[in-house]
Amino acid sequence: MPGAIRTVAGPPSLGKWQQPAALTRAGFAPPDPYPLQSVLFCAACGQSFFGTQLGDGTRAYRSRCGCRLCPLPAAQIELHVYAETRRLAFGTDTVAGLTGDHFALLAVRLFARIAIGTTADDITFTPRI
Distance CA 87, CA 85 (A): 5
The pTM of the whole model exceeds 0.95? no
Say whether pLDDT at 52 is over 50.
yes
Tally of CA atoms within 13 A in the half-sphere of 4 that contains its CB: 5
Summary mean pLDDT of the chain: 77
For 60-101, what is each residue's pLDDT tens digit? 988 888 776 788 888 898 888 888 888 888 887 777 788 887
Distance CA 123, CA 87 (A): 15
Distance CA 106, CA 44 (A): 25
| CA-derived radius of gyration, the chain | 17
